[in-house]
Copies of this chain bind each other. A is one copy, B any other.
Amino acid sequence: MPAIQFDPAFTGFAERARASFLAQPTMQVLGVSLDRVEPGEVELSMPFSPTLTQQHGFLHGGITASVLDTACGIATLTLMPEDAGILTIEFKVNLLAPGTGSRFRFVGRVRKPGRTVWLAEGDAYSVDENGRERLMATMTATEMTVTGRGDVKG
């Protein structure tokens, strides 16, 4: 996948992205931070927490999916028009390595912009105490532009 340069449709794209992230209580509950916002690409991270694991002590795959979903959604939102809201239609996650390590890094990016329907992709990495990264999971997500619906803004 070659890196693509995108032009945001809205000059306030970064502020809107940060506002959308902060408006998601789930991200606070999971301890996620939004570390980087660029047109069409964002980066998030979270520390390992034993409270967010499954029965083997690995980060729960659904928690990985939650952060990747937000990463894909916010990456897409950076390119949407000012009056648009965003909804996720579907996503698929491939879980590639156990959710171990001291922290996790998540990258979301737009793969194909659209008027109504967008494709975003996300990668999740586990990071050990020495900073070594390992690809842990990937997501493909279909995002939808929503306008004129009072309950879907941002």
> Which of A's residues lie within 8 Å of B, judged by CB?
1, 20-21, 23-26, 28-29, 50-57, 60-63, 65-70, 73, 85, 87-98, 111-112, 114, 116-117, 119, 121, 123, 135, 138, 140, 142, 144, 151-154
Contacts and interface: CB of A to CB of B under 8 A. Distances in A.
Given A1-B1, A142-B142, A90 B94 contact: yes
A101 to B, nearest CB: 14
B91 A61 contact: yes
Contacts of A87: 95
A96 to B, nearest CB: 5
Interface SS of A by simple majority: mixed
**How many copies of the shown chain assemble into the complex?**
4
B123 A1 contact: yes
A115 to B, nearest CB: 11
B96 A112 contact: yes
Contacts of A51: 25-26, 28-29
